[in-house]
Each structure stands twice: as C-alpha cells, then as structure tokens.
C-alpha cells in the first residue's frame, strides 16, 4: 500500500501484469522474520494459497536453493483444494536453504482445457487450433534443440487444414501435453514477495538421547572429586544404555566468595565444592577447566573417547559469573555496580543469589561483551564440542541469542543449542525462533491424559513445530517432579516411556533417575542433598536400578524409524481416562508404533483402544499383529477396537510394533 | 536473520540493547501488506505479545497518527495475560491512520516493585533508596518545569538519611507513582518493526441499507422506457422505506451487435433494450448516459434530489465493453484479437457471451488502460457519486484494484466500493484486502442453522473481520435463491430479517423482492423474464407487498445501535434445529437486541432460548423485559432459559429489545 507520491508515472506498480497472487505461505515463521527448521533428509513441505483473476488455468512451483549457491532449483506444486497448493523438497546440506514460490497464468493449459470443452460441445475449433499452435511455438523457443524440433513438428501438424480429427487428437494427446509441460511459458509470472529460510541441522537435532551427569561425581572412590578420566571409564556403559549425548554441568573453576553449602545453604565450609554454575575463580573463567576435573588435554581426550562410542559431549553455557570471576576485574564495565561501590549480585527480591553476578547487557560496552561471549562458545567448538545446553537463556537479551547463534552456525552449521528456559510460553517460543535448536518443555509438569493431548497437540500440530523442537526430560538436577516423589518405580518407568516415545529428543539426569531417587527437600520439587552443592559417589548398579530397561527402550528407539521424529504423533482414542494411547508411523507406513501408557502408577488399568486402521492401510477384514517390543508379547488383532490391560507394577506401557498380516494366509514369516 | 557479511563491526545488530520484543500484533493483515478497516468513530483495538528477557517490569504504548500528520499520538497499553497487551484508539478523520506499538523495560517500575518486596521482607533498603532517587532524577529530566520541581523534591526527601520510614512511604506512595508515570524513561525502547495502516471509511461503509432498481423500469407508463426523472419520483418512497443507498445497474448506452433478447436469448428484436451490462455504443461508453434515461444533467439532478432524502446513488462499475463500444476502435490494443482478425468476446467454454468483450489486462498498453479506467470512476465522482458497486471484480487483475482503489481514496477517502464477486473464498477475501470497502457474500446460499453459525463465525470472529465487510443481499437480478422460489411470503420475511439483523450492511433487488417475485427460469436460480433483458412496469403497491414490513425493519435498524455493526454478533443456544438465535449489543450494553428466527417457512417452531444474562449485566434473580420490536409484544423473562414460539405465517422472527427491570420494584417506567 505504501508507494511514493510524485509523478503520475511513479504511481504504477512495477508488475501490474502479474495476475497470480500468492498468500498464506507456510512454513513462514512470523512473516519470515525467522527461519523454520529441518534436519538433513527431513522433507520441507511448502504450501500456499495461489490464485489468479478470471478463469485461466494457473501453474506453480517451489523454488529453493542452498544459501551458498546462486542457482535456484524447482519442484512442481500441485493444487490440493480451495486454491491451496503444495510442493516439497528434501535438504541435503547442513546450513541455510532459501525458498519461495512462483505462480503464473498458464495460457497453454488454459487453451487446452477450453479446447477440449469446445470439441466436446461440437463447436467449430479451426481458429482455436491456430491459437494453440501459437502457444506451442512460444514454448518451443525455450526447449532443447531436440524438443524444439518435436514441438514445432506437432505445431505444424496442428496447422494442417482439412485434417481436423487428427489435429484434435494431437492437441489433446499425451505427447504434446508431456513435452510442453517441460517448457512452461512463465510470462508475467509472480514470485512470492519474500524469500524464506530453513535452517538445516544435523539429524541429532531431531533424534537424540541425552544423559546428564556431574563429572565431579564420577569417581568410584567414596567422597573423592571425580575427574574427566573417571568420566571416560563410564562411557562404554553410557553408550550401552543407548545415549548419544553426554551433557556435563559446568566444568569451570568455581567461585569461593559467597560459595553455597549443602542444600543451597548460604554458609559453606572449606570442604564444600560449591555450585558449578558459580563460574570463575582466580584459576580462570568460562574457558578454564576446574583443576580437579583435569586439564584441557584431559577434556580433549574425553571428547575423543566419547566420539568413539557415538557420544557427543554437551557443555553447559551459563553466562554468569561468580564474584571471583576474572571478568569482574578485567571487565568491570560488564557488571552493574551499586551506589555503595559493590557489585550487583543476582536476585529475585527478596531472594538473593550472592554466589552469582548477572551480566549487564545494557552496558555501553555491549559489543565487546557479545564478542567475548561468542568467543567462549568458539573456544569449546575448538575443543570438539558441538552441542551446548544453554542455562537460563531467558535472562539474557533475545537479541544477543538471535545474533550469536546464527553467527556460530554460519561457520559451524552442525552445532546444536538446547535452550534451558523454564518460563512463560511466549518467551520459550521466542528463544526457539531466535535460533535455539532444541528446547526444554513443560513435559515435566504434564500429568493427565488431557494435559498430554493438549500440550502435544500444540507442540506438533501448530506452527510451533516449524521452529520449536522439544526435548523431554524426565528430571533435572533442579527438578524432581512430584509424580516421581511418590509414584514409585512404576512412575519412573511411565515417565521414561512417555519422554522417550512422545518426543524423539529426550533426556534424563542420572544416576538420580535410573536409581529412582525420589526424596525431595520438603515443599519443593527439588532433590534433597542436591548434587549441585556436593560431590556424590554413586552405586550405579544398585538393585532395582532401571539401566536395563532404559537400554531396551533406547534400542527400540534406534530400531524404529517412527520413534525418530516428533512430528508424526497422532493420539488415538481409548475409553479409559488413565490411559494415553498414540500412534507414530514412518511416512511410508513401513514402521508403525502404537504406544499405550498407563498414567496411573498404582492400579492396573484396562480398556479398549481404537486403532485407526484405515490410515494404516489395514482393511477391516484383515488381521494384524501387535508385537510388544517391551515384553515381547504378540497379539493378533482385527478391526478398530481392541482390548488392552496394563499393570504398572509389571510394565506400565505397551510399545506395539504393528504389522498387517499379508493377505495370503500362508505367508506369515514376520512371526519369526 | 539476513545481515550483510563483511567487516566484523557490521555484524552487530543496530539495536542490540533493545530488550523488549513485540510479536503477533493484531490487527495486521497479511503481515501488514494490507490495511485493516474501520469507520469514523469505530474503535481500533490493538493487541500484541510484548515481553522482555529477565524479570524486569515492562511498559508499552500504542502509537498512532493520521497519515497526513507527522506527530505520533500515544495511548497506554495494559497487560491482559500471558504477555498479551492491549491498547486502543478511535479514529476521527477519514483516510489512513498509521499505527504501531512500543515497549520498554521500565526500570523505575521494576525498582519500585522490588523495593516493596525488600521492605516487606524487612531487608536493609538504604542503598536501594539511593538507586530509586537516581531513577526519579532521570525521569525528572523529561518533565515539565513544575513536575520537575516536584519530582526533584521527592527525590531529595528520599535521599534524607535517618528518615527511613517516611522515605519508604514516599517511594511507594501515590504521588510519586502518578507523577513519574507521566515521564517514563524509555531507554532502549523497542518499536515494533512495522508501521501498519488502518483505512478509515465513512459510517455508511459499516451501516448501510441498499436498494437496487433498474431506472429504465421506473416509468409508471406500461412498457415505456423509464428515465432518471421517473426515478426521482420514487425517491420519497424509497427513503420512507428506510433505504440510504439506491444502486442503479449500468446507465450507459447499450451495444447493438449481438444484443441479447428476452431471457438471455442470443436472438433479439429491435424492441429489445439489451442488457445494461453490454456497455457502449455509437452514443458513447462508460462516461456516457443512455439517451432514454436522460442526459448527464438529469443524472446530476437525480443525485442531488436523492441526497435530499438521505440517499446516495450507487453506480455500477462494469469494466467490459459491447462490440460497439468506442474503445474497440479507439483503443483496439486493449482487447484480444483472434487469428482471423475478429475480436475476442467473453466466454466460459463452451458458453459464449458475444454481447460482451473482456478487456485484455495483459496488454502492452496496460498503463494507459489503467489510467482510463480510473478516469471513469473519477468522472462519476465528479458527478457526485460516492458509492460504486463493482461488477465481477474477480475477472480483472487484483493488482489493478489494489492500485486503483487506494489511488481514488487518496483524494476521496469517503468513496465506497462494493465488490460483486461471487467466487471462491480466497479470491473474495483478496479483493477485500486489496481495497474493496464492502463485499457480497455467500449469505444467499446459507440456509441451515449450522451453516449460518459457521459462516457468520468465520466472518465476525476470524481475521476476516479486519478487512472484509459483508453486505448481505436477499436477492439480485442474477440470483433468485431456491428458498425464495418455494418458501412463500414467510421465506421472504425470514431472509429479509436475517439479512437486516445479521449484517449491518444489507440490500435487496426491488421491486422483485418486496413483490415476492419467485418464478425462476427452470433449473436455474434466476428470475424468469429477467429484468436484465427487458423493461418492466411494476405495480409497486400490489397487495401482499412487503413495503411496510421493510419500512418497520429498517426503522428498527436505525433506532438500535446494536444493529449498526456486524462485529458484535454472538449466537445463543436454543434447543430447536430450525431456530437461529443471536444477541447483538452496543459496547456499553445500553442497547441489547435478541433476534430469534424461524428458519422453517412452513411450520410453527417453538423452543427454549438461553439468554446469556451474565454477559448482559442481568442477575439470575432479576427479571427483564423483552419487547418484540416487530409485533410490539412484551414479555417479562427471568433467568437464562426462556420459551418462544414462532408461526412463520404471522411473523417468522422476534426482534427483542431487552431491558433489565430496575432493582427497585416501584420503578418500571420503561413500560410506558
């Protein structure tokens, strides 16, 4: 609507003859302000409303290019219904792709459609045939030499008078139709006014299995400060359990001033190791390694060893400082100072977090600050780290992340940033839009069937799926959810199965989880004697541990493509309010998983689940096998409604692999 | 996300310290590509998600200015919930307003909130008081001299040591809070990145009552071609009936070549007047007047006379030509020519409309064409016309309308364009986005309760309401809907009431409507012996006519504010599938209308309607009067559920004015 006023000539739009309009393109995050997200090999389906004035036939195509290439590729778009068109592409390179859409009035197709109607109505079409040859000749100009010859030959056949019947056959025939399809005359074609971006991440951005562990608690010797070397010893077992990301809380020197004691006490003794999030001491800051964990070479070695086991080491990015951090002296301008000359510590009045100083992002020196923070991430990238879990990103400006993450990914498109923001929904979404690869979620606080359906529907069926990749955590050092406090082992299994099958990214804080730790500090959802403030020595193989169950579950995830994405979730009806049931399938339906979870950790629940067999390519008369990948039990089912029963004290869920029986009764080798 | 690569310094965003983010602003049509619409005095409510990192308090305001002014005005925004903010303004000038939103971290408010928490927790706040005075002094710099004095006085009181209790009282007191509210320190404040437009139209754009009539059928003499003078004679009666727009089908010379005969016959006799939409003859084209109607001075006189009766004359804009139109010779480049040298007529194969030539908007000479078409509209504006009903706008390029309408409205913001597009939904919406003031709708083809609820919910409760103003027509010369063909007088009344009360803009094609014409050409929804192809002589006062009922209904519309907008529609539940019931209220609830319509033209229907008394400010224990403005009956109701009964052969609807009885029982003067 905005146009320059001035000379009359200026008042015409540039492209007044572009008759096609393109609207409501998806995916398009916030009008194209942010990119959408895919992983390598994950299809990008682009839809748009495309239409023209009048009654002409239109054509449309999806245009896309890797950001570093100048050459557009195209994919045809087809009409769904009600002027909605769709096209798709599969990204094959890490980084950013650009895409947009183009549509045009297709005069040849319009002519051909009308020509057929005229012929069918027995009208005189001699002049129309001539009009048709003009269209063919126009298209021929763009054709390869060979196709040009063919097209012109067809045109001249059409032009031959006295052979109306054969001309009609040629005009409407497959040869002409298919040949000319390759050379659309895109006169006055309309490009969608925006070029949109899709960030293509590595597959782990969508399918990852996280294990969080404090390296200082990895020593087998009771009470001893663990080291990277101790950590290395655990790698084979972590890998066996099926994890592919090992996330370490901060590994840096810890401040001494106002150091926290056990259970977050403001008083500490010289034995207290302090919270790893109180980063920085005379030993160094965010690029230093806590001396008791080892040195930087030990860290490099750990990263390499982990890789051998298929594990990425994920580091914690916590942009805050202890009062002893070198920055406080070297860059006092990055902190807030009070009128009495003291530095401003973190607080949420009346609560004070005196062991931590927040960074003042409103500082005059914000550019040097941003550069420094980026350099920290680059430092660890230089040491082989490609995954970062970012602590409380919502307490730093969005603009900073929206600058830093793309800057990093420009050179290292394989880097993954997990946003640890437990805050209001719009803030969490904004962080994801701004660049975070994965995000913590409200999963931990969803308990009832209705809550799960509503939340997962929001995550997977709304625009959020284009930019917000959930990572479901069963627990964290900060969060021992109520259900784990009193639900016993069945609750641990149930939450584990939910996290691992609802979301393709999930994680746990161990060994607290697999050892079923459940005692909280009274009145809060937090562990008593929290590992954040003390060194633990774990008996990892303690009776009742869930390690083998976790191993089995992670094996199931690896073996079944349907569990390797979050976007294919579809709830199915059942008649029991305590039962959550859902289907996940691979796109080609070669892998179909039906999960039925008992949300009640105390009682056996049973009921009837409605399997959407029509969507699965199974006929009502056909039987199909459901193979429980947890218990190995197999059932033969038929039709939509089928019975289940789940005793939470045995296993609180079925994870059924569904296979339709072949129609020839003799062929049932899938029983093997 | 797009930034120039190059020097490191270039890589920083310009406004890295703007911590507030603004998203999801509404109204914003297609990312701001199109303006939203209001009429004079109609409130614009702007909402946005506004939030910051961290825990600081933020403030926000709506900014707006008339497009011709450079000075922004502002209105405070308040937090609704979940980071959603709202602000509002009322436009007072015709034309375009610009609006946007601004938000900032409010350091004073943050400080005051935290200060209170510290005080409540009994913490030492001496240093915090000093921080507070700094904030006050900053704000004072922006204050008027008088307020500056007051603010500095308060600051110095705070600074006084040893008077902690009084300092606290001042810091948290109303005087300081209210004073400083006027001078927010908007450091690093964030402006929403777009400036949006709202087109402000005259009140008739939202509340209008249209009457369509062929001027050539206005003569009282049987068979005689009517004239503007004949038309003038009808004005008092049209005004009495409550219409304020008189829409005339094209008044231009009619082509002779391929002229249509009665009932759309391709054969005509010399007596046939032809379709008025076959515009142009040797007499002239789109700026000429059909000689039998009169001359341009007669037209000017009609316009003036109509104004005296509060009626606007609306003209038909039909951009197409008869084969005899002067353009065909003078501007042959604006038409398509076939290989045999003949001009391309309109068609929808195999149907041919040989009395009409479409304009070729793909012509090389599109700029001169556009200018000419615009000049036609300007010509009629020059003759006092301010309302145009545009024929088939969807068969001309969107780009043309999106250029022409704003161009016209730049100089004549009071002009109203009604889009006559009966086509696919996205095309209809696009025309409205592109500038049409009002639009024909699918109303005519909605019949059942479910259809009405679904369609009206779409029109009034989705984003469509920001740009698409419905105009509900009971019938048109092209459309005699099935329900009017067989439903008898009750169907006419029912459709009339629905059109007039569901939509604040409505219209009818008369006298066909008020005379209950119902005979269709077999198999189509079109009148037999259609007035489009022949001159009619009407007996307007024929027994059984609906003129008095229409008059009463239009009086009700004029007397009740609630019926003068479409956006306040709210359906209410009832237990009968044949009954549609809805409430419309003025914003201040001073005018409450409850409409109950029997959709069944044959049988008496009754049931219970649920009145949403809580939303109407009526208590469960309170009685209220419902006064049927059609029948003048009055009932005393109480509570939500109330009984109704509607015999369609009497009147098929109640239009209740609801008035709550005053709580003092003695006071019931509203019975008078």
Cα–Cα distances in Å, from A111 out to A12, A132, A219, B360? 30, 7, 79, 16
pLDDT of residue A162: 75
Residue of chain B whose alpha carbon sits nearest to that of A428: B53
Question: Dihedrals φ, ψ of A208, to 5°?
Answer: -150, 155
Query: Cβ separation of A349 and B11 shorter than 8 Å?
Result: no
- CA B147 to chain CA centroid, Å, is 44
pLDDT of residue B6: 40
A248-300 confidence digits (pLDDT tens): 999 999 999 999 999 999 999 999 999 999 999 999 999 999 999 999 999 99
Alpha-carbon dihedral angle through residues B243, B249, B253, B255, given to the nearest 10 degrees:
-170
Shortest Cα distance from B416 to chain A (angstroms)? 18
Across the range A299-306, mean pLDDT stands at 98
Shortest Cα distance from B54 to chain A (angstroms)? 4
pLDDT of residue B234: 98
Residue B187: partners with Cβ closer than 8 Å, 6 or more residues away? A362, B104, B105, B107
Quick one: what percent of chain B has pLDDT higher than 70?
A: 97
Across the range B426-450, mean pLDDT stands at 98
A563 has pLDDT over 90: yes
DSSP-derived 3-state class of residue A34:
strand
Across the range A324-328, mean pLDDT stands at 97
pLDDT of residue B665: 54
- Mutate which of A5, A16, A138, A172 to test chain B, going by most B C-beta atoms within 10 A? A16
Residue B192, CA atoms < 13 Å, CB-side half-sphere: 28
pLDDT of residue A37: 98
Across the range A359-377, mean pLDDT stands at 97
> What's the token pair of residue A21?
């309009």
pLDDT of residue A163: 81
Q: Where are the alpha helices (DSSP H) in B439-568?
A: 449-461, 482-486, 488-502, 547-559
Q: How many CB pairs under 8 A join A and B?
A: 175
User: SS3 letters for B110-177?
Assistant: HHHHHHHHHHHCCCCCHHHHHHHHHHHHHHHCCCCHHHHHHHHHHHHHHHCCCCHHHHHHHHHCHHHH
CA distance A345 to B234: 83
Shortest Cα distance from B271 to chain A (angstroms)? 30
pTM greater than the 0.90 cutoff: yes
pLDDT of residue B285: 98
Shortest Cα distance from B453 to chain A (angstroms)? 21
Query: Cβ separation of B21 and A406 shorter than 8 Å?
Result: no
Query: Cβ separation of A19 and B398 shorter than 8 Å?
Result: yes
Cα–Cα distances in Å, from A298 out to A273, A284, A308? 20, 17, 16
CA distance B289 to B225: 14
Quick one: what percent of chain A has pLDDT higher than 90?
A: 93
A666 has pLDDT over 90: no
Instruction: Check if B420 is active-site.
Output: yes
**Whose CA is closest to B638, among B650, B646, B626?**
B626
* Closest by Cβ to A127, choosing from B338, B349, B371: B338
Residue B164: cis peptide before it, omega within 30 degrees of 0: no
- Mutate which of B12, B53, B360 to test chain A, going by most A C-beta atoms within 10 A? B53
Q: Which residues in chain B are closer than 8 Å to A371, comparing Cβ atoms?
A: 8
Please identify which of the residues B106, B420, B514, B534 carries the catalytic annotation: B420
Query: Cβ separation of B370 and A16 shorter than 8 Å?
Result: yes
Shortest Cα distance from B281 to chain A (angstroms)? 25
Q: Which residues in chain A are closer than 8 Å to B131, comparing Cβ atoms?
A: 338-339
Q: Which residues in chain A are closer than 8 Å to B11, comparing Cβ atoms?
A: 403, 407
* Closest by Cβ to A339, choosing from B54, B127, B394: B127
Cross-strand partners of A634: A627
A88-114 confidence digits (pLDDT tens): 999 999 999 999 999 999 999 999 999
- Mutate which of B80, B397, B420, B422 to test chain A, going by most A C-beta atoms within 10 A? B397
Q: How many helices (H) and strands (E) does chain B have?
A: 15, 28
Q: Which residues in chain B are closer than 8 Å to A8, comparing Cβ atoms?
A: 371
Residue of chain B whose alpha carbon sits nearest to that of A401: B16
pLDDT of residue A159: 83
B54-93 confidence digits (pLDDT tens): 999 999 999 999 999 999 999 999 999 999 999 999 999 9
A56 has pLDDT over 70: yes
Q: Which residues in chain B are closer than 8 Å to A31, comparing Cβ atoms?
A: 31-32
Q: Which residues in chain A are closer than 8 Å to B82, comparing Cβ atoms?
A: 424-426
Q: Which residues in chain A are closer than 8 Å to B17, comparing Cβ atoms?
A: 361-362, 366, 397, 399
pLDDT of residue A14: 87
**Whose CA is closest to A410, among A15, A50, A656, A94?**
A94
Across the range A510-518, mean pLDDT stands at 97
Query: Cβ separation of A83 and B424 shorter than 8 Å?
Result: yes
Query: Cβ separation of B16 and A350 shorter than 8 Å?
Result: no
Query: Cβ separation of B362 and A398 shorter than 8 Å?
Result: no
**Quick one: pLDDT band at residue A662, thresholds 50, 70, 90?**
low
Query: Cβ separation of A118 and B350 shorter than 8 Å?
Result: yes
A193-250 confidence digits (pLDDT tens): 999 999 999 999 999 999 999 999 999 999 999 999 999 999 999 999 999 999 999 9
Any idea what the Cα angle at residue A211 is, between residues A210 and A216, rounded to 5°? 145
B100-117 confidence digits (pLDDT tens): 999 999 999 999 999 999
CA distance A579 to B129: 56
**Quick one: pLDDT band at residue B1, thresholds 50, 70, 90?**
very low
What stretches of A368-484 adopt beta strand conformation (E)? 387-391, 416-420, 438-439, 472-473
Task: Tell me the Cα Rg of chain A.
Answer: 31
Instruction: Look up the ipTM and state it.
Output: 0.95
> Whole-number mean pLDDT of chain B?
95
Residue of chain A whose alpha carbon sits nearest to that of B34: A1
**Whose CA is closest to B389, among B213, B239, B167, B534?**
B213
Across the range B434-458, mean pLDDT stands at 98
B265 has pLDDT over 60: yes
Residue of chain A whose alpha carbon sits nearest to that of B9: A367
């Amino acid at each position: 609507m905005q146009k320059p006023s001035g000379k009359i000539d200026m008042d015409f739009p540039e492209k007044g003859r572009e008759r096609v309009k393109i609207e409501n393109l998806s995916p398009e995050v916030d009008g194209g302000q942010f990119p959408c997200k895919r992983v390598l090999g994950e299809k990008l389906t682009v839809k748009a409303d495309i239409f023209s004035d009048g009654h002409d036939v239109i054509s449309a195509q999806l245009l896309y290019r890797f950001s570093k290439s100048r050459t557009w590729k195209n994919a045809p778009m087809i009409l769904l219904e009600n002027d909605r068109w769709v096209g798709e592409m599969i990204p094959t390179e890490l980084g950013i792709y650009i895409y947009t859409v183009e549509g045009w009035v297709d005069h040849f197709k319009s002519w051909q459609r009308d020509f057929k109607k005229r012929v069918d109505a027995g009208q005189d079409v001699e002049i129309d045939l001539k009009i048709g040859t003009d269209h063919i000749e126009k298209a021929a100009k763009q054709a390869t030499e060979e196709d040009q010859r063919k097209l012109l030959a067809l045109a001249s056949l059409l032009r031959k008078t006295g052979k109306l019947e054969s001309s009609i056959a040629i005009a409407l025939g497959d040869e002409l139709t298919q040949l000319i399809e390759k050379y659309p005359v895109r006169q006055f074609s309309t490009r969608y006014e925006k070029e949109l971006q899709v960030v293509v991440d590595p597959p782990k951005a969508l399918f990852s299995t996280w294990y969080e562990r404090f390296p200082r608690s990895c020593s087998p010797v009771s009470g001893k400060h663990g080291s990277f070397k101790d950590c290395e010893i655990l790698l084979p077992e972590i890998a066996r359990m099926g994890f592919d990301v090992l996330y370490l809380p901060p590994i840096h020197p810890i401040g001494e001033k106002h150091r926290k004691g056990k259970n977050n006490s403001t008083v500490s003794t010289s034995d207290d190791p302090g919270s790893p999030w109180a980063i920085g001491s005379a030993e160094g800051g965010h690029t230093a390694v806590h001396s008791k964990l080892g040195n930087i070479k030990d860290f490099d070695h750990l990263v390499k060893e982990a890789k051998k086991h298929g594990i990425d080491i994920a580091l914690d990015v916590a942009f805050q400082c202890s009062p002893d951090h070198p920055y406080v002296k070297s860059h006092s301008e990055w902190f807030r100072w009070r009128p009495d000359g003291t530095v401003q510590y973190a607080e949420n009045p009346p609560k004070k977090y005196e062991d931590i100083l927040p960074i003042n992002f409103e500082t005059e020196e914000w550019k040097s600050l941003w550069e420094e923070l980026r350099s920290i991430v680059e430092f660890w990238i230089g040491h082989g780290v490609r995954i970062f879990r970012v602590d409380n990103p919502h307490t730093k400006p969005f603009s900073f992340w929206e600058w830093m993450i793309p800057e990093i990914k420009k050179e290292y498109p394989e880097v993954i940033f997990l946003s640890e923001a437990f805050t209001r929904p719009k803030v969490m979404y904004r962080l994801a839009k701004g660049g975070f690869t994965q995000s913590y979620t409200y999963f931990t606080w969803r308990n009832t069937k209705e809550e799960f359906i509503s939340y997962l529907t929001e995550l997977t069926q709304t625009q959020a799926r284009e930019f917000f990749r959930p990572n479901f955590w069963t627990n964290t050092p900060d969060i021992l959810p109520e259900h784990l406090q009193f639900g016993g082992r069945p609750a641990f299994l149930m939450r584990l199965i939910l996290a691992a099958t609802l979301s393709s990214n999930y994680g746990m804080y161990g060994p607290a989880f697999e050892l079923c730790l459940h005692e909280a500090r009274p009145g809060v959802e937090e562990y008593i004697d929290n590992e954040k403030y003390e060194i633990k020595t774990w008996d990892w193989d303690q009776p009742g541990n869930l390690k083998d169950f976790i191993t089995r579950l992670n094996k199931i995830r690896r073996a079944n493509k349907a569990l390797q994405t979050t976007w294919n979730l579809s709830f199915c009806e059942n008649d029991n309010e305590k039962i959550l049931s859902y289907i996940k399938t691979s796109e080609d339906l070669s892998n179909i998983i039906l999960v039925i979870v008992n949300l009640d950790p105390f009682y056996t629940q049973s009921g009837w689940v409605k399997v959407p067999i029509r969507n699965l390519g199974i006929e009502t008369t056909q039987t199909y096998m459901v193979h429980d990948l947890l218990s190995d039990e197999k059932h033969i089912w038929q039709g939509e409604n089928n019975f289940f029963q789940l005793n939470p004290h045995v296993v609180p869920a079925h994870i059924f692999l569904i296979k339709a029986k072949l129609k020839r009764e003799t062929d049932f080798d899938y029983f093997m």
